[in-house]
Amino acid sequence: MGDELERRVTNLTGRAGMVRVDDTTFEAEVIRSALPVVVDFYADWCAPCRMIEPTLRDLASRLSGRVKFAQVNVDEAEVTTRSFGIHAIPTYLFVESGTERGREVGAIDPVAFRAILKRYFAKGSAASGGTPASR
C-alpha cells in the first residue's frame, strides 16, 4: 500500500524537487516558466536515466528557486517527445524564456552537468540567442 501511494505521488510531482510534465502541462510548466528550465526526457526502464537521477535531484534541490527541473516521460508524453525530436534518452533541454538554449544527450557526470548549466543559463549566454522552444 505504501509503495502504491508513493508511486501515485511521484506520478503527480516527479522525483524529489522535480516537476513532472506531460503533453498537457509542458507549455505552462516549461515554455511559460519564469525560471530557466532543465527538461529531462527519460523513461522508467532507461538505465542511464536512473544513473543520472541522483545528480538531477541534488541540483534541483540546490538550485530551487533559481532553476526549475522538469521531467518528461517519453512513454507518456509522445506528442511533446516527438515535437522536440527526441530520439535518444536521456536528453536534456535547457529552456529559458521559452527559448531552447541547448540540449545534451546521454548520462552526464555531476561536474560536467554543472558546467553545462552555467554555459546555457549564464546571463551572458542568454543574450546570444537560441531556438524558440514552442511547439
Cell numbers placing 12: 503527480
Whether the predicted pLDDT of 48 surpasses 80? yes
Coil vs helix vs strand at 76: coil
Tell me how many domains the chain contains.
Answer: 1
28-57 CB burial, b ≥16 within 10 A, e <16:
ebbbebebbbbbbbbbeebeebeebbebbb
Residue 37 domain flag:
yes
Residue 133 domain flag:
no
Residue 134 domain flag:
no
Question: Which of the following is catalytic: 39, 46, 117, 133?
Answer: 46
What does the alpha-carbon distance between residue 55 and residue 65 come to, in Å, rounded to a whole number? 17
Q: Is 83 left (phi over 0), alpha (psi -120 to 50) or beta?
A: alpha
Whether the predicted pLDDT of 4 surpasses 50? no
Global pTM value? 0.80
Q: Which domain does 104 fall in, by range?
A: 2-128
Whether the predicted pLDDT of 72 surpasses 50? yes
Q: What is the CATH number of the domain that holds 119?
A: 3.40.30.10
Question: Which of the following is catalytic: 38, 49, 63, 77?
Answer: 49
Does the annotation count 112 as an active-site position? no
Does the annotation count 106 as an active-site position? no
